[in-house]
Amino acid sequence: MTGADSETVSDLVQEVFLAASRGLAGFSPDKGALISWLLGIAHRQAARHWRSASQHAPPADDWLTTQVRQSSDGNGESAAMLGELVDAVRAAIASLPAEASALLMGRYLDERSTEQLAVEFCISENAVRSRLSRARQKLRDTLGEDLWTMDA
């Protein structure tokens, strides 16, 4: 989600677990599963990173940038447009609620099945499908219909 190098990801993981250890007293299983609570913390840390790093270009070796490079066919203008799209998608995902962004990334970036996501989130497969549908709609709303249907 951050498009960060492995060192930055390691730092963010440490920040997530530090925040979790500080806030453990506030965790209640009655409010939801532990994984959802941790994903919420991770989402906030990633969003904070995205906001602070928004002035900088994403690193050349992250997954989305690699996809842009492969799609651009050596055309600099096309690569620049796709790079802007990557930034817009990354920012839009960071602005979504934690569970929505985690589900979208799990399904489409990590290519996990709805069954795997159901186990991970402690919900039914039907709930995963329903929440993914709502997450995709929120992403569409955030990106705007023109950007969502744009041919890259």
Over the stretch 40-77, which tens digit does the pLDDT of each residue have?
888 777 777 766 655 444 444 455 556 555 655 555 56
pLDDT at residue 60, as a whole number: 43
Q: Where are the domains positioned within the chain? A: 6-148
pLDDT band at 30 (very low <50, low <70, confident <90, very high): confident
Interior CA angle at 120 toward 116 and 122, to 5°?
A: 110
Half-sphere exposure at residue 11, Cβ-oriented, CA atoms within 13 angstroms? 9
pLDDT at residue 123, as a whole number: 86
pLDDT at residue 134, as a whole number: 94
* pLDDT, tens only, 130-150: 999 999 999 888 887 556 555
pLDDT at residue 58, as a whole number: 45
pLDDT band at 125 (very low <50, low <70, confident <90, very high): very high
Q: Kindly list the distances between the CA atom of residue 40 and the CA atoms of 19, 78, 94, 99, in Å, as whole numbers in the listed order.
A: 11, 35, 11, 7
CATH top-level class for 6-148? Answer: mainly alpha
